[in-house]
Chain A
């Protein structure tokens, strides 16, 4: 699994405070802890409290890359901070995210290409979040076609089927599963399939259990990456165990310890 660590996000109170106080040590520690726990990419999101999104984005990127060397995912809905963040990343980077809206594809895919960034593509279009599997696959195909036109390969594309909180749309998860399976058949090699895991459980009481359960069910349908909290040890253990059950690596009694030691990576 490709684990995109979600913790450097200005929506979290402590991160917001760190951004305001320019507390680099806090961000660096958060970056290092996530990587140690198994994050293979770190998401960087300034949040909404900032008065200067671009400047704060660059500051966050620099803090993170002083502490770790994994790729960074620049997560912003606004163009200017997105571009500033991408430009500041020294190594591999991910643009998070485009939708399937024609405007977004026309603006954001050339930006990704310019910065040699991978792209997360959300299956949302002008009509909003789709209610059916077919519509998700249709938008995914549209994103893929646009990516190819911009010389972005399937290996650099992460399709996100969009998850809503389970209490809001309880009929959606099964459609998400079906969509994941179909995304994997869009091309060979297939694009990555990614979800923003915590959407499923936003503000719900059993949010950790929901995240864990949903992640594993998505993995069983072909999910190979997720934006999640790598510091949630139960979640990471469940993820590693699901990979084991799916024969991604060889069993040993101490497989959890081995995965933890390898930073969550099993194979």
Chain B
């Protein structure tokens, strides 16, 4: 008796989105990171080829707020805190980041209100210091982002960065900037699959190519809504594979901040003596959040702790071992020569 072939063939495909432009393409990056392109659900290599997920390291543009970067998260970056260029270099050279995700929090009106010109100078300095593709994320203050992001976008024209966040309420300025300067864009939605699709439609309606949109459906940390994020991502992926073109965008997950918000991740040993040492607990909380999201279909994981990144890479290797075509190792380690010349 023959064994029935259980392979599924889907009609839809997740768009492949490329981030970063090399010299030949008019940029200055040493490599391009391509995500998405999936023809099946995550890690079923026997059903179809796929681009492996990429790891982005979060780079704050100023010394981070201890309330958001607790001891355990900040520890690896203590020597570079407040120096975004050194921070970014460390992520690339020591921690083998595929991408760096620059967060322009200092431009927020309540967090220093740094002018757009300063943000521009910061991203340009990081652009010159590291050669991996760049993700730039504003301050989440809409009026301020609408001043800062166009200037940042223009300064990085041709580098094919990934810029965020475009939301249902505020997408036009960023979309226009990304369109003009050749960047990809992140569409943000608040754990709501209908709004996720709506944002994609709104951005596309401005003439923006769907193949340059990445979805950020909002990430829940382990124990704090992870399952909502998981089920939304899963449903979105299945809809896209059933040929819903307005859901066929790769997904970005912001793992670091969500994980380190959990008291289980940040509580010091003295406060939680029965929970295991904080220096392991925190990174592990981040790692488990990230690995769960990988299974749900994450394409870019924005991480903080290098130990979490190590666990994610090891897991990716296991999940893709034996698969033909590209494997996670090509994504994770080819940038590990951090040695991109400056």
Contact = CB atoms under 8 A, between A and B. Distances in A.
Q: Do A and B bind each other?
A: yes
Interface of A: 249-255, 257-258, 261-262, 265-267
A250 B201 contact: no
Contacts of B205: 254, 257, 261
Contact of B194 (A252, A265, A266): A252
B239 A252 contact: no
Interface range, B side = 10 to 19
Contacts of A254: 198, 201-202, 205
B239 A249 contact: yes
Given A249-B239, A250-B236, A250-B239, A267 B198 contact: no
Contacts of B264: none
Given A257-B205, A267-B239, A252 B245 contact: no
A266 B244 contact: yes
A250 B197 contact: yes
Contacts of B245: 262
Question: By DSSP majority rule, is chain B's interface helix, strand, loop, or mixed?
Answer: helix
10 contacts: A250-B235, A250-B239, A250-B244, A252-B197, A253-B198, A254-B198, A254-B205, A258-B246, A265-B243, A267-B243
Contacts of B239: 249-250, 267
A189 to B, nearest CB: 13
B179 interface: no
A250 B192 CA distance: 11
B194 A251 contact: yes
Given A252-B195, A253-B198, 8 more contacts: A252-B197, A252-B200, A254-B205, A255-B201, A258-B197, A261-B204, A267-B243, A267-B244
Given A250-B235, A250-B239, A252-B194, A258 B201 contact: yes
Nearest to A262: B245
Interface of B: 193-195, 197-198, 200-202, 204-205, 235-236, 239, 242-247
The 4 lowest CB-CB distance pairs between A and B, nearest first, are: A252-B197, A252-B198, A254-B201, A251-B194
A266 B200 CA distance: 14
A194 to B, nearest CB: 20
Contacts of A266: 244
A257 B198 CA distance: 10
B234 to A, nearest CB: 12
A15 B193 CA distance: 45
A36 to B, nearest CB: 16
Contacts of B204: 261
Nearest to A247: B239
**Among A249, A252, A254, A265: residue with most chain B CB under 10 A:** A252
A255 to B, nearest CB: 8
A248 to B, nearest CB: 8
Contact of B244 (A249, A253, A257, A261): A249
A250 B193 contact: yes
**Among B198, B204, B205: residue with most chain A CB under 10 A:** B198
Nearest to B236: A250
Contacts of B202: 254
A29 B194 CA distance: 35
Contacts of B198: 252-254
B159 to A, nearest CB: 30
A257 B195 CA distance: 15
A265 B201 CA distance: 14
